[in-house]
Homo-oligomer: A and B are copies of this chain.
Amino acid sequence: MQYHVNGTLRDRDEATVSVDDRGFRYGDAAFETCRAYGGEVFAWDRHVKRLHRTCETLGMADAVPDDLAVRVAETLDANDFEDAYVRVSVSRGVQPGKLTPEEDVDPTVVVYVKPLPRGGVDGERVWDDPAVVQSVQTRRIPDSAVPSDAKTHNYLNGILARLELRRASNEEYRPDEALLRDTNGYVAEGATSNLFFVDDGVLKTPETGSILPGITREVVIELAESEDFPVRTGRYTPDDIRNADEAFLTNSTWELRPIATLDGIEIGGGPLTTLLQRLYDERVERRCYANSR
């Protein structure tokens, strides 16, 4: 497997960064996780826009290289991948050993790929089963401490949430996503996913402010609105979700994944979830496979 590191394709084993890279020392980096379908990255423009925004939040507005799309395409080509997971990381690079960043940035840019067979209309999902979701004690980092719309290498908040699942697991119960609440106790998001639920025909999802506004979340909201389904964003409690008619998680690799249970209480997908999955698959088909077929 080959990655792209600072403009050069490298065998994965030789893809390294300096231990002085601020991405390693401080998690001082931005990233995006995308999916390529048929060699085309879905919603690429949106991902690049968010990557730019994160870099701007981190005070390195110009760190995203102009030829990023070319690097991604080269990496997919070099590995002969059509359907793939794609991660792009932009760190502040090596700077003198002080916490305060220098204005002059020589970023470290890494493109990671791995094969990921597509779901889609006729394909198979990444996940085997609907998600088993468990609320955790770890609270979502508030927007006032780290802007919630920045997607950064500081991912311990989500890792600590997932570690709680390890402790909660036993032979009969193996949750695979942790649901974090914000510091006020409202539902925020999963460790790597956004949450939706259906309540009396209305599609609901936590409002921005204490969540990462996911690209898949954005697309799902648009798809629902395009079919004239009412969509509401707001503040919800775990009980709101537990009492929902349907519920699902979204992220770029899972796409839409129904929630089997939350805290052991059955919810499951349903007609709206299935319809939105279908609409999402069709959009992927239309946007990504149009050229390759």
Contacts and interface: CB of A to CB of B under 8 A. Distances in A.
Interface of A: 3, 5, 12-13, 15-21, 23-29, 57-59, 85, 89, 91, 97, 99-101, 103, 110, 112, 114, 137-142, 144-147, 152-160, 162-163, 165-166, 183, 191-192
Contacts of A155: 25-28, 99, 154
Contacts of A100: 159, 162, 165-166
Task: Give the top 4 A-B pairs by smallest Cβ distance, nearest first.
Answer: A27-B27, A16-B16, A26-B155, A154-B154
B139 A27 contact: no
A133 to B, nearest CB: 14
Q: Is the interface of A mostly helix, strand, loop or mixed?
A: mixed
A146 B142 contact: no
B154 A156 contact: yes
Contacts of A137: 144
Best-surrounded residue of A28, A59, A145 (most CB of chain B within 10 A): A145
A26 to B, nearest CB: 4
B101 A153 contact: no
Given A139-B142, A140-B145, A192-B99, A156 B27 contact: yes
B24 A183 contact: no
Given A16-B17, A27-B26, A27-B155, A146 B162 contact: no
B141 A145 contact: yes
A58 B156 contact: yes
A158 B25 CA distance: 13
Contacts of A159: 26, 28, 58, 99-101
B27 A99 contact: no
Contacts of A138: 144-146
Given A12-B20, A24-B89, 8 more contacts: A3-B19, A15-B20, A17-B19, A24-B24, A99-B162, A101-B159, A146-B160, A152-B156
B183 A145 contact: yes
Contacts of A146: 138, 141, 156-157, 160
A150 to B, nearest CB: 8
21 contacts: A16-B17, A19-B110, A27-B27, A27-B156, A28-B159, A58-B156, A58-B160, A59-B163, A59-B166, A99-B158, A99-B162, A101-B163, A103-B166, A138-B145, A138-B146, A139-B142, A141-B141, A142-B183, A146-B156, A152-B156, A154-B154
